[in-house]
Structure 1
């Protein structure tokens, strides 16, 4: 896994450069801890959805929901043809853990080991964004709380 960039002033989502894909992820925990869900989507340089996912993870706190959101996204991702994968989320801690700037809590280490293994072969860049730039992933995470199971598709699920 390669680098981390903090984006402080971009108020809305922006597309990745041609040849790259962008995965936005988010977790939601109602009650913190409470019923939780994950969601995210991958888009190309035209903003077209390549694939999206949304689903429940049971009872969790917000940190676990965020970790499991990026984990679900990377592990459910089909093998994609791209030069690089930009991974964006609104959790500073998760982005720092993904990039290796900080060590994750021990309970999350197995998730990060699998993410790293699955990410081999991709140039991955991790970026922190404002919530306003992560609206679509947030919506998928919130709807994931009430889904029966993780759903993955090549469009935005209702």
Structure 2
């Protein structure tokens, strides 16, 4: 039996330092929808936390295209509509594709959620399991 997808995300400051992280079970869905759920959840968290100039990185090219209005994929999907509502708020958002090798922290946070009994987790401090990936991601993205 498939257990479904778990997504994760990390918010860093402009120096690359940890601010916040999360992971959440999103159920059975495509890789694209899982990535869009991660972006949606991150946008909601960031809006609540207050930053108004944000760079959203994803290793999913199609998700970035959808968010930049360059893809006709999922045009009537409620999740895409909700993300576009979030992006229309008063903030400066940039969406950027990064290689998978530069996305280890988000992947690590998602892995932490697999097999756990809770559906969602918020991390105010980086879990020990992803500390090494924090610096690796910073250097891989440049």
TM-score range, shorter chain: 0.7 to 0.9
TM-score of the pair, normalised by structure 1 = 0.70
SS in structure 1 opposite 2:26? strand
Residue 57 of structure 1 contacts residue 145 of structure 1 at CA under 8 Å; is this kept in 2? no
Name the one with the larger strand percent.
1
Q: Name structure 1 gaps, 5 residues minimum.
A: 1-30
Q: Which runs of 4+ in 1 moved over 3 A?
A: none
Q: Name structure 2 gaps, 5 residues minimum.
A: 129-142
The structural deviation recorded for 1:106 is 4.4
1:16-55 equivalence runs, <5 A: 35-55=4-24
TM-score of the pair, normalised by structure 2 = 0.77
Q: Does residue 143 of structure 1 match 2:112?
A: yes
| 1:73-126 deviation line (CA, Å, top 9, x unaligned) | 1123324234x210000000000001111123246x321222222231111110
Bigger mean CA offset, 109-118 vs 125-134: 109-118
Counterpart of 1:116? Answer: 84
Counterpart of 1:87? Answer: 56
- Cα distance 1:65–1:81, how it changes in 2: closer, same or farther (>3 A)? closer
Instruction: Determine the C-alpha separation between the residues in 1 that align with 2:91 and 2:42.
Output: 14
Instruction: Determine the C-alpha separation between the residues in 1 that align with 2:49 and 2:90.
Output: 10
Name the one with the larger helix percent.
2
Counterpart of 1:154? Answer: 124
| 1:8-32 deviation line (CA, Å, top 9, x unaligned) | xxxxxxxxxxxxxxxxxxxxxxx9x
The structural deviation recorded for 1:157 is 3.6
- Report which structure shows greater RCO (CA 8 Å, sep ≥6): 1
Counterpart of 2:29? Answer: 60
